[in-house]
A and B are shown apart, each in its own frame.
Chain A
Amino acid sequence: MNRRTFLTTAAAGIAHVASAQSVPDAIRNLRPMTGGIQPITDDERRARIEKARKLMRENKLGALVLEGGSSLYYFTGTRWPQSDRTFACVLPASGEPAWIVPEADQDRAHQAIRMGTDLRTWKEEEGPYKKLVQVLKGISRVGIEERVRFAVFDGLRKEAPALEFVSGDPVTIGCRVIKSPAEIALLQRANDITIAAYKAAFATLHKGMPQRELSANISAAYRALGAPGNAMIIFGKYTAFPHGSIQPQTLHEGDVVLVDDGCTVEGYQSDITRTTVFGRPTERQRQVWNLERKAQDAALAAARPGATCESVDAAARKVITDGGFGPGYKVPGLPHRTGHGIGLDGHEWTNLVRGNQTRLEPGMCFSNEPTIAIYGEFGVRLEDCMYITEDGARMFTKQSPAIDRPFG
């Protein structure tokens, strides 16, 4: 789970204030864990583009149109923020990538673009779409990357109403869903850093602590460890809301503490949740926590190559239902899917969810996070990410061993 998209700015602002004030030395003194990181090579990116071309041919697509975002970064190594001035890339099924660049940004674009040399600048008075359609000449069916904005699609279809614009998902998902050893190594590093940040920050829990103090400590830990990241903090009964509540919370004796989210290494995301109790857990809290851990174990055991995604969800859900919760999405119980894909996006295809008959393959990466939500009481989520190997699923991180020992 994460809500990183909208927490990023808020957390950054808060962390800035906190760093000037009261970040404990134990966090400030953490050392960078970024040594020896191997970025994705341009050769690997070229192989991704080659696979995309093959998938385009199989899916009868003449080209894939992308805006700035994780897919563009995946294929080309270029980062570009979406803005009113359309910046787009066309990956044709045959031929080199072409880039549609606002004239005002062309110097910056020349520096940012690593794949291909076909840059076409557009002037304010003509707009981007004529140039974009020229690149698509001779093509009848075009794939649109999922996060391209409606405005860009709309501009394209007005300029070329005879073209057929369809989802580019078979191409982007087909490539991104299987991670290479280099990608798994980067995900591993992001996961290791998140555990280090959490360990340091959980040691700072104290009575009366506001959520923002803990999130500031985690952000500061990430800065010291060398990877940007932040955290969603939930205390007490609000831990039953999988993504928290707007009600401000401070830490009391006996509160359940839930911390979720992660950091970024070379664009690759971690997403880890730890749940513990501040003070002495009640018997009820222990029982639910132990059931949650059994559900996570069941999903891990079920995640073997060849198994369907929905069977992994069913395995975790069965444990929770057998424990007297649910059934289905009913609360108290597990109100959401068991996991999501993870890579350059914190949530990406494909999901461990009922109805998804996609079969697991080596190289796929998922979160494993079957929440137990009990509204009015508390919620428990243990989330670790796992990657599929020939022999079964492996967690990137050591699972939480016990409610009062979140890191063993």
Chain B
Amino acid sequence: MQQTAEVSAATYQERIAKLQEAMKEFGLQAVVLEPGPAMMYLTGVRWGKSERTFAVVLPAKGGPVWVLPGFEEMRARELIHPGDDIRIWQEDESPYQRIVEGLKDRGVSSGRVGIDEAARFFVFDGIRKLAPKLDYVGAQQVLKAAGVDTTQAPGRGRGR
């Protein structure tokens, strides 16, 4: 495996802070990301997309909320730093419930939420069914304003 330069934890914090500034400008309460270039750039976490929802909620105020499958928690904790708010869903539970709870706990129960434009329809649809009053918009512009390059293929981050 090729090595790439280590990105420090402080750099990820700065990148998220910059996104939070941009969210305020764009009037967004939070951004929800599936695995991909934006998640990689902002958090260093690289994860394969599967039918099992794995997502990060980045609120305009407060720390990230991670939502992931229960049986993947050990593997995920190898990658997520700091992992101080990881919420698991078991196989017969709804990941969207966890996402919506995460939004609520960060004070997001109305207003606009940015959705990763590469997110799959079923993930968005699962969230909107549980939180139909939120206004969901594409996150491309706010990510761009925060300097997140979503066109780049993800490189090697903290894990595969």
Binding site for B on A (CB under 8 A): 3, 5-7, 10, 84, 144-151, 153-154, 166-167, 169, 241-247, 328-329, 335-337, 340, 345, 347-348, 351, 353-356, 373, 375
Chain A residues whose CB sits within 8 angstroms of the CB of B49 once the complex forms:
5-6
Establish whether residues A147 and B137, one from each chain, have CB atoms under 8 Å apart when the complex forms. no
Please state if A146 and B122 are interface contacts (CB–CB under 8 Å). Answer: yes
B93 to chain A, nearest CB (A): 9
CA distance A374 to B55 in the complex (A): 26
Q: State whether A353 touches B91 (Cβ < 8 A).
A: yes
* Stretch from B15-23, B57-65, B66-74 that touches the partner: B66-74
What are 11 A-B interface contacts by the 8 Å CB criterion?
A5-B50, A144-B121, A149-B119, A150-B118, A154-B115, A241-B74, A243-B75, A329-B90, A335-B70, A345-B51, A347-B50
Contact partner of B48 (CB less than 8 A), chosen from A3, A145, A354, A355, is A3
- The complex places the Cα of A375 from the Cα of B50 at a distance, in Å, of 23
Asked, given contacts A5-B48, A7-B48, A246-B159, whether A149 binds B120 with beta carbons under 8 Å apart, the answer is yes
Selected contact of A153 from candidates B51, B121, B158, CB within 8 Å: B121
The yes or no answer to B117 lying at the interface (CB within 8 A) is yes
CB contact under 8 A between A147 and B71, given known A5-B49, A353-B92, A355-B92:
no
Q: How far, in angstroms, from A153 to B125 measured CA to CA in the complex?
A: 11
B138, A154: Cβ atoms under 8 Å? yes
**Chain A nearest CB, measured from B58 CB (Å):** 16
Chain A-chain B contacts (Cβ-Cβ < 8 Å), number: 99
Chain B residues, Cβ within 8 Å of A167: 121-122, 125
The majority secondary structure among interface residues of chain B is loop
How far in angstroms is the closest Cβ of chain A from B88? 10
Complex formed: what's the CA distance from A356 to B37 in Å? 33
B79 touches A375 (CB 8 A): no
Known: A3-B48, A246-B160, A355-B92. A150 touches B121 (CB 8 A): yes
A6 with B160: CB separation less than 8 A: yes
Asked if A151 meets B138 with Cβ closer than 8 Å, knowing A5-B50, A245-B75, A335-B70, the reply is yes
By a CB distance below 8 angstroms, the chain A residues around B79 are: 246
